Structure 1
Amino acid sequence: MRSILASALIALAATPTLAAQCGNDGSGFAAWKQAFAQEAAAAGVGQAGLNALANAQYSTSTIRADRNQTGVRYALDDFIRIRLGSLDSFASQMRRERDRNASFYANLERAYGVPAGILLAIHGMETGFGRTMGSTPVVDSITTVAYDCRRSDFFTPHAIAALVLVDRGGLSPNQQGAAHGEMGHTQFLPGNALRYGVDADGNGRVDLYSVADSLASTANFLRQKGWQPGQPFQEGTANFRVLNDWNAATVYQQAIALSAARLQ
């Protein structure tokens, strides 16, 4: 299936005269939105998405977060202590979540080959099992970083994807997410939501704020990135390397694998 992300890039490349001018502060955001609306329409965004774009606000909190990024620099033990408390306590939380709907996780593993422990570890580490999914409107944050000159090329297709999600009913115009447009229970960027999203609850749309859709989409993402069903996932294995596609920080990958092993 051809991804909307690739289609958006092709459409944008085909209309260079419409290219919106990036900026380094909020002063040019309104003008950028007007130009970007033409790019979005050319890439297939409909009226609902264009309305969401028109109402988007420049997010100073997003820019502040973007400028203050320092990366993950903790040793593994410190990362686990700060992020999880301890492996045992985190595994207990994972076990409680799994036991609420054990058949759901079993079905996901049968369908995608990804164990419950991996999915639960990601869910818990990303949003505390859905308790903290972000406080910035996704359309605001993703259009802000698409407009910002630092990484406009990277975020522009994700901004298009967010507007397509609004069109499709998978994202409300005011739905909140993380600082850079990450959305839902496991914090997908909008382009990845369109590329790997799964309608697991069968309601006709991919909604990453649904636990079922979000975890099925996460399993699908990992499988499409090369996850090998039934194979080990500890450090040094092929499956562990797949976790790099989820998060590039080695300690993050290690924490996922170690937590998942505690659940077994």
Structure 2
Amino acid sequence: MLLRDVFRPLKRLSLAAALALPALSLPALASAQCGGSFSSFVNGVAAEARQMGYDQNTVANFLSGVRQDGAVLKADRAQGVFQMDFTSFARRLISNNRLQTGLSKARQHEAIFAKMQRDYGIPPGVLLAFWAFETDYGAFQGDFNTLNALVTLAHDCRRPELFRPQIFAALKLYTMGDFNPRTTTGAWAGEIGMVQMLPQDILDNGVDGDGDGHVRLKTSPADALLSGAKMLRHMGWQAGQPWLQEVRVPAEMDWSKAGLQTRLSPAEWQRMGVQPRSGAWQANLPASLILPQGRKGPAFVGYPNFNVYFEWNQSFTYVLTAAYFANRLGGAPVFDAGNPEPGLNGGQMKSLQKKLRSRGHDVGKIDGILGAGTRTAVRAEQQRLGFPADGWPTAALLGNL
């Protein structure tokens, strides 16, 4: 099974991607047509494509045979794995075999990784980690028909502003000879290739790394890795800067300072008792203290490049695990799991989210997942109740609410 089909919330539609679609203004994207009968929806897509300037035969051939895929909708609604805590999630994804395979891939494609770092400033471990998590180094790239997936999700009305523009990006790739609507397959959300890129990402950041005149993300490691690196650079990655460093925290401090909302210098963290687990601070850059399982669990600081990870994937747990695995591929030791207080199960987390919402907090969807909104709300309620405000929900907090 494709790792990304299980472990994936959706990527954002970047502003650049939106602006790259000439026939759709941003307001139009926000209110893109969806729903109704599937055939009428497809006819609407075809009409819009013709308005963009594509000829009737091209549009007809592109959309011929497109169908609604119920398996895509089922996958879109099954994201329960993100209810796992960071330690469990990281141990599930990062096996010794996956680590050793990554190191082997680094040696096998040494020239590609050298070019990637030289041209885009992306260290090998960063792309190796994404390559591992997205498709197990290209072994499992997904068997969903990409066009069916994109049209199904655009029609579904949950996120038309993301998926409808991707249909036209795929149409553009089709006219370039880099997309076959009948045979191109990938993840359930329309992402293609070894590092799983949406059609608009391919248009914006695709690199012909092997010089064959095409961007083949499914079969060419050079194309896939360099395209992924260019996309990260486009998202804001700063060359030569670190992304994540493991630290130790004191027994007591102002825990409300933890979380991505606060960025302090290493000197400021050090004055509060935060220290690198080993060695020195990696950079004199603003950093956030990350306590994925509270003050008694693992502890890291995230530098500015860490925030770029959220442009690739919106799950806090996925992002932290990918950033940590990049460190491991670069030689870092296994993190100290500490002795965190037991967290909440899925049902308890949903109950907590309902209580937080009733108190006026914006926790997003009641899904049992400890996302950024829920963490912020938890920290606020911990402060109100006099608990250590480390953003980690416990049974004691739930009981007191």
Same fold (TM over 0.5): yes
If each structure's helix is expressed as a fraction of its own residues, which one has the higher value? Answer: 1
1:160 corresponds in structure 2 to 168
- The question of whether the paired residues in 2 share the 8 Å contact of 1:49 and 1:166 is answered with no
**Distance in 1 between residues matched to 2:106 and 2:80, nearest whole Å:** 33
**Distance in 2 between residues matched to 1:104 and 1:22, nearest whole Å:** 41
2:193 corresponds in structure 1 to 184
> What secondary structure sits across from 1:215 in the alignment?
helix
Aligned length: 254
* Alignment map for 1:142-157 (pairs within 5 Å): 142-157=150-165
State yes or no: 1:22 paired with 2:34.
yes
- The question of whether the paired residues in 1 share the 8 Å contact of 2:89 and 2:317 is answered with yes
**Distance in 1 between residues matched to 2:239 and 2:60, nearest whole Å:** 41
1:11 corresponds in structure 2 to 23
**Distance in 1 between residues matched to 2:126 and 2:170, nearest whole Å:** 26
- The question of whether the paired residues in 1 share the 8 Å contact of 2:166 and 2:198 is answered with yes
**Distance in 2 between residues matched to 1:29 and 1:64, nearest whole Å:** 17
**Distance in 2 between residues matched to 1:202 and 1:171, nearest whole Å:** 18
2:115 corresponds in structure 1 to 107
State yes or no: 1:96 paired with 2:109.
no
Identify if the C-alpha distance between structure 1 residues 226 and 57 changes in structure 2 by more than 3 Å, giving closer, same or farther: same
Alpha-carbon offset, residue 119 of structure 1: 0.5
Instruction: Flag structure 2 segments of 5+ consecutive residues without an equivalent.
Output: 1-14, 245-300, 331-401
State yes or no: 1:194 paired with 2:203.
yes
**Distance in 2 between residues matched to 1:67 and 1:11, nearest whole Å:** 30
State yes or no: 1:258 paired with 2:324.
yes
**Distance in 2 between residues matched to 1:49 and 1:117, nearest whole Å:** 41
Instruction: Flag structure 1 segments of 5+ consecutive residues without an equivalent.
Output: none
- The question of whether the paired residues in 2 share the 8 Å contact of 1:20 and 1:32 is answered with no
1:73 corresponds in structure 2 to 83
2:343 corresponds in structure 1 to none
**Distance in 1 between residues matched to 2:43 and 2:215, nearest whole Å:** 28
- The question of whether the paired residues in 2 share the 8 Å contact of 1:43 and 1:160 is answered with no
Alpha-carbon offset, residue 187 of structure 1: 1.0
Alpha-carbon offset, residue 135 of structure 1: 1.0
2:272 corresponds in structure 1 to none
TM-score by length of 1: 0.88
**Distance in 2 between residues matched to 1:169 and 1:124, nearest whole Å:** 28
Structure scoring higher RCO (CA < 8 A, sep ≥ 6) equals 1
2:143 corresponds in structure 1 to 135
Deviations 1:13-63 (A, max 9, x none): 59x8xx985227xxx112211121011122344544541212211111111
Identify if the C-alpha distance between structure 1 residues 250 and 69 changes in structure 2 by more than 3 Å, giving closer, same or farther: closer
- The question of whether the paired residues in 2 share the 8 Å contact of 1:12 and 1:39 is answered with no
RMSD: 2.3
